[in-house]
Structure 1
Amino acid sequence: MKVVGGRAKMLLQIVTAAGVLLTTIFIHGTAVMLLFHIGRGPLTGTQKLAAYVRLGVTGFFVIGFLIAHIIEIMVWATVYRLVGELQSFEEAVYFSAITFATIGYGDITLSPEWRLASAIEGVNGILLFGWTTAFLFKVSEIWFSRRDTDHHIVRS
């Protein structure tokens, strides 16, 4: 009987974590689209912008993604509080942040009933940080490539 209960608890963790993961992907996708929409103008006229202006707009993107990551961390923290795993929201945010960033100090842990969810949060963080990195890399490639400054890009 205990095995059935254990499987049900594991399934609850996986379903809950998958729901949170999909929520954070939606949040991050919205952030990517919004930041791209805002930066579309500067992205298409790179040769007209000074390097320090491009760097400033890149900083804007970084702050935008930082806000997105904080929101995503807080979504996980909210779930940990709702299921009663952590004592305070501050503790939940701290735990979520170190888990999302895959630092994992181990000073705060979840009970065996919910620790699988934290592993899924770590995977979620890796994926979303990778998505952010890919976006910022592409922006940097567009804005700081020698091809752009040498006007070798063929525009249609």
Structure 2
Amino acid sequence: MLLVALVCLGLLVLTTVIHYEVLRGLSNVLPGLEIRPRAKLIVVIVAAFVAHVIEIVLYAAAIWILVRFPALGSLGDSARFGFDVSLYFSAETFTSLGYGDVVPGGDLRLLAGAEALNGLLLIGWSASYAYIAMERFWNGGPAVGPER
């Protein structure tokens, strides 16, 4: 349990840093982009999407590695388990979609719960950033920046 808890903590920190850096990078780049203000929103959405995909892949890699140690838990049917199943489960969990067709067992349940909470927070962060960007760009206000 301790190992999985440490992996959860590490992934929480790593995904938060990735997300922060992507949004900070957007704040620095957007004002200088010579494109229409509304097109900048497309840049925001694509960048946030890419950040989320990277974060999902990191969780999938951790799951894929941890499943190799049966004492730490299992993920779905071990006969058909591969990285694709880890990636699917991670995306499903990160977004809180939760079909339930792939179910974690053992200590991996802790990682699944942490990923769902982390995904909820990071998706909310992206949504609030996108809202602020829309408000500023649509109203012709100043570009999104780190400080006002």
Given the two structures, how large is their TM-score scaled by the length of structure 1? 0.77
How much has 1:145 moved relative to structure 2?
2.7
Over the aligned positions, Cα root-mean-square deviation in angstroms equals 1.8
How much has 1:18 moved relative to structure 2?
1.2
1:1-156 → structure 2 map (5 Å cutoff): 9=1, 11-41=2-32, 53-84=36-67, 85-86=74-75, 87-145=81-139, 148=141
How much has 1:36 moved relative to structure 2?
1.3
Identity of aligned residues (%): 28
In the alignment, residue 59 of structure 1 is paired with which amino acid? I
How much has 1:35 moved relative to structure 2?
1.3
Bigger Cα Rg: 1
How much has 1:55 moved relative to structure 2?
2.0
Higher helix share: 1
Counterpart of 1:105 in 2: which secondary structure? Answer: coil
How far does the alpha carbon of each residue in 1:34-73 deviate from its partner, in whole angstroms, 9 at most, with x for none?
111110235xx9xxx7xxx222110111011111000000
Given the two structures, how large is their TM-score scaled by the length of structure 2? 0.81
How far does the alpha carbon of each residue in 1:83-123 deviate from its partner, in whole angstroms, 9 at most, with x for none?
12452111111100010000111000111221011011000
Q: C-alpha separation between the residues in 2 aligned to 1:39 and 1:80?
A: 35
Q: C-alpha separation between the residues in 1 aligned to 2:137 and 2:26?
A: 15
Equivalent residue pairs, number: 130
